[in-house]
Structure 1
Amino acid sequence: MKEAKDLHVSIIGGGLVGSLCACILGNKGVHVKLYEYRDDIRTMEVVAGRSINLALSVRGRSALRLAGLEEEVIDKHGIPMKGRMVHSTSGKRTPVPYDNRGQCIYSVGRRFLNETLLTAAEKNSNVEVFFKHKFLDSRFDDGKYKVLTPDGQVQEDSSDMLIGCDGAYSAVRRQMLKMPRFNYSQFYIEHGYLELCIPPTEDGDFAMEENYLHIWPRHTFMLIALPNQDKSYTVTLFMPFSMFEKLGTPESLLEFFEDNFSDAVSLIGKDRLVTDFFRTKASALVSIKCNPYHVNDKVLLLGDAAHAMVPFYGQGMNAGFEDCEILSQLLEAYSYNLEKVLPAFTDNRNVDAEAICDLAMYNYVEMRHLVTSKKFLLRKKIDNALYTFFPNAWIPLYSMVTFSKLRYSHCISRKQMQDKILESFMWSLAMVVFSSVFFIVFYG
Structure 2
Amino acid sequence: MDNRVRSTKVAVVGAGLVGSLEACFLARRGYEVHLFEYRDDIRLLEHVPGRSINLAMSIRGRAGLKTMGLEDKIIKNHGIPMVARMIHNKDNTIKSIQYNKDGKCIYSVGRRYLNEELLTKAEEFPNVHVHFCHKLLTADLTKGTMIFLNTKTKEELHVEADLLIGCDGAYSSMRKEMMKRPHFNYSQQYIPHGYMELCIPATPDNEFAMPPNYLHIWPRGKYMMIALPNQDKSWTVTLFMPFEIFDELTTPEILLDFFKENYPDAVDLIGRDKLVRDFFANKALPMISVKCSPYHIGSTSLIMGDAAHAMVPFYGQGMNCGMEDCVVFDELLELYNDDLSQVLPAYTKQRNPDAEAIVDLAMYNYIVMRDLVNSKLFLLRKKWDDLLSSLFPRTWTPLYTMVTFTRVRYHLCIANKEWQDRVVNKIVKIGGILGIGLGILLTQTQAVHQLSCTIYHHISGLASKTLALATQ
TM-score w.r.t. length of structure 1: 0.96
**What is the Cα deviation at residue 68 of structure 1?**
1.5
The letter for the 2-side match of 1:361 is: M
Match of 1:181 among 180, 183, 197: 183
**What is the Cα deviation at residue 3 of structure 1?**
4.5
> What is aligned with 2:339?
337
Matches within 5 A, 1:159-198: 159-198=161-200
Match of 2:375 among 349, 373, 385: 373
Tell me, yes or no, if the aligned pair for 1:2 and 1:336 is still in contact at 8 Å: no
The letter for the 2-side match of 1:90 is: D
Query: Secondary structure at 2:170's aligned position in 1?
Result: coil
Instruction: Choose between structure 1 and 2 for higher RCO, CA contacts under 8 A separated by at least 6 residues.
Output: 1
- Separation of aligned partners in 2, 1:325 and 1:416: 27
> What is aligned with 1:91?
92
Tell me, yes or no, if the aligned pair for 1:351 and 1:409 is still in contact at 8 Å: yes
Q: How many residues align?
A: 435
- Separation of aligned partners in 2, 1:378 and 1:105: 23
Matches within 5 A, 1:67-106: 67-106=68-107
Match of 1:232 among 221, 231, 234: 234
The letter for the 2-side match of 1:423 is: N
> What is aligned with 1:5?
6
> What is aligned with 1:406?
408
Query: Secondary structure at 2:138's aligned position in 1?
Result: strand
- Separation of aligned partners in 2, 1:140 and 1:18: 18
Tell me, yes or no, if the aligned pair for 2:141 and 2:177 is still in contact at 8 Å: no
**1:135-187 per-position Cα deviation (integer Å, ceiling 9, x unaligned):** 11111222111111231111111111000000000001011111001001110
> What is aligned with 2:31?
30
Tell me, yes or no, if the aligned pair for 1:34 and 1:129 is still in contact at 8 Å: yes
Query: Secondary structure at 2:431's aligned position in 1?
Result: helix
**1:37-80 per-position Cα deviation (integer Å, ceiling 9, x unaligned):** 00011111111111110000000000111122111110121000
**What is the Cα deviation at residue 431 of structure 1?**
6.4
- Separation of aligned partners in 2, 1:432 and 1:274: 56
Matches within 5 A, 1:147-158: 147-149=148-150, 150-158=152-160
TM-score w.r.t. length of structure 2: 0.90
The letter for the 1-side match of 2:79 is: G
The letter for the 1-side match of 2:68 is: A
Query: Secondary structure at 1:321's aligned position in 2?
Result: helix
Matches within 5 A, 1:389-400: 389-400=391-402
> What is aligned with 2:446?
none
**How well do the aligned residues superpose, as a CA RMSD in angstroms?**
1.4
**What is the Cα deviation at residue 366 of structure 1?**
0.1
Query: Secondary structure at 1:248's aligned position in 2?
Result: coil
**What is the Cα deviation at residue 388 of structure 1?**
1.7
Tell me, yes or no, if the aligned pair for 2:296 and 2:344 is still in contact at 8 Å: yes
- Separation of aligned partners in 1, 2:366 and 2:52: 19
The letter for the 1-side match of 2:39 is: R
> What is aligned with 2:65?
64
> What is aligned with 1:425?
427
**What is the Cα deviation at residue 389 of structure 1?**
2.1
Is 1:293 aligned to residue 310 of structure 2? Answer: no
Query: Secondary structure at 1:348's aligned position in 2?
Result: helix
Moved over 4 A (4+): 430-434
- Separation of aligned partners in 2, 1:432 and 1:65: 45
Tell me, yes or no, if the aligned pair for 2:80 and 2:107 is still in contact at 8 Å: yes
The letter for the 2-side match of 1:205 is: E
Tell me, yes or no, if the aligned pair for 2:142 and 2:301 is still in contact at 8 Å: no
Query: Secondary structure at 2:153's aligned position in 1?
Result: coil
**1:367-422 per-position Cα deviation (integer Å, ceiling 9, x unaligned):** 00000101101111110121122111100000000000000000000010011111
The letter for the 1-side match of 2:93 is: K
The letter for the 2-side match of 1:234 is: T
Tell me, yes or no, if the aligned pair for 2:332 and 2:343 is still in contact at 8 Å: yes
The letter for the 1-side match of 2:340 is: L
Matches within 5 A, 1:254-403: 254-403=256-405
Query: Secondary structure at 1:11's aligned position in 2?
Result: strand
- Separation of aligned partners in 2, 1:114 and 1:432: 52
Tell me, yes or no, if the aligned pair for 1:12 and 1:36 is still in contact at 8 Å: yes
The letter for the 2-side match of 1:332 is: E
> What is aligned with 1:253?
255
The letter for the 1-side match of 2:323 is: F
> What is aligned with 1:439?
none
* 1:126 to 1:273, Cα distance in 2 relative to 1, 3 A: same
- Separation of aligned partners in 2, 1:271 and 1:172: 43
Query: Secondary structure at 1:195's aligned position in 2?
Result: strand
- Separation of aligned partners in 1, 2:178 and 2:435: 60
> What is aligned with 1:220?
222
- Separation of aligned partners in 1, 2:219 and 2:303: 35
